[in-house]
Amino acid sequence: MGWDIFKVKKRKKRDEPDDDIQIAIKAIEKFAPKRHLQEREMCYYHYRQIRKYLKLLLPLLIYISERAEKKRNEEIFVQGLFIKLKDFYDVNDKLSIKEAIQDYSLKIKLLKLLKIFYDDNTLTRAKIEDYLKNIEEN
């Protein structure tokens, strides 16, 4: 009789239902550049563990996952993305849109977001300034 009592039985992972954030992440990972996955994890995906960011993370990720909108009208897409990004980072809603548009760090985060999710380095700061200036007019 040769029972291998030390053999570790591999357990099958149960297919647990995905939550909304995980569904959005899977949709994003279908098109996002693989080389920026670690940055996306560090800068955005890990926020799903922090309760106060959960409500704000989901709309941002859903908006990011709607890639067709970016191709259709880049200006409107960037404006909407900036507003979602502002809402996400301004958890306590202290900044007005006008103040957020003047916030240099938010513009840098927008450029970085475009790079790590879309591999888009084509937008210049001047172009983003022009797009964001039009938010105030709308």
Q: Does 85 fall in a domain?
A: yes
Task: Flag whether 5 is in a domain.
Answer: no
Structural domain count of the chain = 1
Instruction: Decide if 9 is inside a domain.
Output: no
Residue 13 lies in a domain: no
Q: Which domain holds residue 30?
A: 20-137
Output the CA–CA distances (angstroms, integers) from residue 47 to 43, 71, 89, 132, in the order listed: 8, 27, 11, 26
What average pLDDT does the segment 6-10 reach?
60
pTM: 0.81
Q: Give pLDDT, residue 51.
A: 87
Amino acid identity of residue 124, one-letter, is T
Q: Tell me the mean pLDDT in the region 126-138.
A: 82
Structure tokens at 14: 């149960």
Tell me: the pLDDT tens digits for 28-82?
Answer: 999 999 999 999 999 999 998 888 898 999 999 999 998 877 788 899 999 999 9
